[in-house]
């Protein structure tokens, strides 16, 4: 096999630019089928993107003999069931983040894919983006001396929606939580990539503004297995926006944002330096290429079910008290 033929389950907004074209443009990759429960929308996507087949039934796409691997781009509440279905068909899976609703579902997905002998990848694509690779390189190369701690700050003004029109990202039964789960998962996964697994985590999750049922503020303290400590606050009812990750070492610091495009900033006693590394037009394409390479036997992907499970575990620890309240 020299080409991986992909089918997408859930061709919504994330697949329009971020991911869908990446499956068409990656080397050794071809997008051959898409599925959406609304048949007209599935057909429209296929026509606009030049995809040969479209379905309104996920199992039909999974069972298509011309689909070699499945990308699951639905909301998190269906990630597990579709992953299990694809694994039963013996097909590798690339699933959107967050990986699932909770740690238990992640473990079930990993076990099913392992039993079926198929790989499981998760779309934490910052692990392949130049800005984040540069930040990781600076931190791990000793450019700021010995790493002491990490600070994370993310804030947004509150989102107001009629109670009967809440977006799925604000509905815990669909998303696994609120915007913390949707957005902070990227930051937490990058820290896992840069520093290794978290060994201990403590924190608080609350709903302060009362605009929707999910948490709207999370404060956390972490310790990584390597002894580095970190603190973070994610607030979704702030008067201003903020997005900052700061790695502080014995001889300097590295600063970048999770969602912005500002250059990575290095500051040391001898001066400062900026690293301007733009994102690719299709932001998932670099990670998709890693997935394709591994499936073709010519490389490895850095974002797996096992690594994504660790990120979900951290979020579960932080949200457990709010979930139970």
Domain identity same for 272 and 290: no
Q: Are residues 268 and 298 in the same domain?
A: no
pLDDT the model gives residue 305: 98
Residues 209 and 260 in one domain: yes
For residue 47, being part of any structural domain is answered with yes
Residue 296 makes CB contacts below 8 A (sequence gap 6+) with: 1, 2, 4, 28
How sure is the predictor about 322, in pLDDT bands with cuts at 50, 70 and 90? confident
For residue 266, CA distances in Å to 72, 195, 249, 250, 255 come to: 37, 17, 11, 13, 7
Does one domain contain both 68 and 201? no
Distance separating alpha carbons of residues 301 and 295, to the nearest angstrom: 9
Query: 264 and 156: one domain?
Result: yes
Instruction: Please write the tens of the pLDDT for every residue from 143-162.
Output: 999 999 999 999 999 999 99
Q: Which two tokens stand for residue 103?
A: 């740690």
Residues ≥6 apart with Cβ < 8 Å to 54:
33, 34, 35, 36, 39, 42, 43, 45, 46
Q: How many whole angstroms separate alpha carbon 24 and alpha carbon 22? A: 5
pTM for this prediction: 0.96
Which residue shows structure tokens 């990120």?
311
The structure tokens listed for 69 are: 């691997």
Query: How much of the chain exceeds pLDDT 90, in percent?
Result: 97
- Kindly report, residue by residue over 230-241, the tens digit of the pLDDT: 999 999 999 999
State residue 323's pLDDT score. Answer: 62
Same domain, 105 and 158: no
Greatest Cα pair distance in the chain: 61
Q: How many domains does the chain have?
A: 2
- Indicate if 162 and 291 belong to the same structural domain: no
Banded pLDDT at 315 (limits 50, 70, 90): very high
Q: Is residue 198 part of a domain?
A: yes
Closest by Cα among 100, 123, 127 to 112: 100
The CATH number of residue 15's host domain is 3.40.50.720
The reply to whether 136 and 273 lie within a common domain is yes
- The pLDDT tens digits for 8-18 are 999 999 999 99
Residue 238 shares a structural domain with residue 289? no
* 187 & 135 share domain: yes
Angle at 183 between CA 61 and CA 100, to 5 degrees: 40
Query: pLDDT at position 178, please?
Result: 97
Distance (Å, rounded) from C-alpha 176 to C-alpha 182? 9
Residue 74 lies in a domain: yes
Question: Within a domain: residue 137?
Answer: yes
pLDDT at 299 over 60: yes
Whether the Cβ atoms of residue 73 and residue 19 lie closer than 8 Å to each other: yes
Q: Give a yes or no: residue 321 inside a domain.
A: no
pLDDT digits (tens, 9 = 90+) for 43-76: 999 999 999 999 999 999 999 999 999 999 999 9
Instruction: Provide the residue range defining the domain that includes 262.
Output: 130-278
Q: Are residues 162 and 269 in the same domain?
A: yes
Per-residue pLDDT of 91-104, as tens digits, reads: 999 999 999 999 99
Residue 218 sits in a domain of what CATH number? 3.30.360.10
DSSP 241: -
pLDDT digits (tens, 9 = 90+) for 206-216: 999 999 999 99
Token look-up 């509150």 returns 158
Q: Do residues 256 and 209 share a domain?
A: yes
Each residue's pLDDT tens digit, 179-207: 999 999 999 999 999 999 999 999 999 99
Q: Is the dihedral of CA 38, 176, 261, 192 positive or negative?
A: negative
In a domain, 298, yes or no: yes
Residue 115 confidence (pLDDT) above 70: yes
């Amino acid at each position: 096999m020299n080409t991986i033929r992909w089918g997408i389950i859930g061709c919504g907004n994330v697949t329009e630019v971020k991911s869908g074209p990446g499956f068409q443009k990656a080397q050794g990759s071809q997008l051959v089928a898409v599925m959406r429960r609304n048949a007209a929308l599935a057909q429209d996507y296929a026509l606009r993107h030049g995809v040969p087949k479209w379905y309104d039934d996920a199992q039909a796409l999974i069972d298509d003999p011309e689909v070699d691997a499945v990308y699951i781009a639905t909301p998190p509440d269906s990630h597990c069931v579709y992953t299990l279905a694809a694994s039963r068909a013996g097909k590798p899976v690339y699933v959107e983040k967050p990986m699932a609703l909770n740690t238990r579902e992640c473990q079930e997905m990993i076990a099913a894919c392992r039993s079926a002998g198929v790989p499981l990848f998760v779309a934490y694509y910052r692990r392949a983006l130049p800005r984040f690779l540069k930040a990781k390189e600076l931190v791990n190369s000793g450019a700021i001396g010995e790493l002491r701690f990490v600070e994370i700050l993310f804030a947004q003004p509150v989102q107001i929606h009629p109670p009967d029109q809440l977006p799925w990202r604000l509905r815990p039964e669909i998303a696994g939580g609120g915007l913390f789960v949707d957005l902070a998962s990227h930051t937490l996964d990058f820290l896992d990539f840069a520093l290794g697994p978290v060994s201990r985590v403590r924190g608080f999750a609350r709903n302060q503004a009362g605009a929707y049922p999910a948490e709207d503020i999370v404060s956390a303290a972490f310790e990584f297995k390597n002894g580095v400590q970190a603190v973070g606050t994610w607030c979704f009812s702030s008067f201003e926006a903020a997005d900052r990750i700061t790695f502080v070492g014995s001889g300097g610091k590295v600063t970048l944002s999770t969602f912005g495009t500002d250059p990575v900033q290095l500051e040391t006693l001898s001066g400062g330096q900026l690293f301007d590394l733009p994102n690719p037009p299709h932001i998932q394409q670099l990670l998709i290429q890693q997935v394709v390479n591994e499936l073709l036997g010519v490389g490895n992907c850095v974002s797996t079910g096992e690594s994504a499970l660790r990120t979900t575990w951290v979020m579960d620890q932080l949200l457990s008290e709010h979930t139970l309240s």
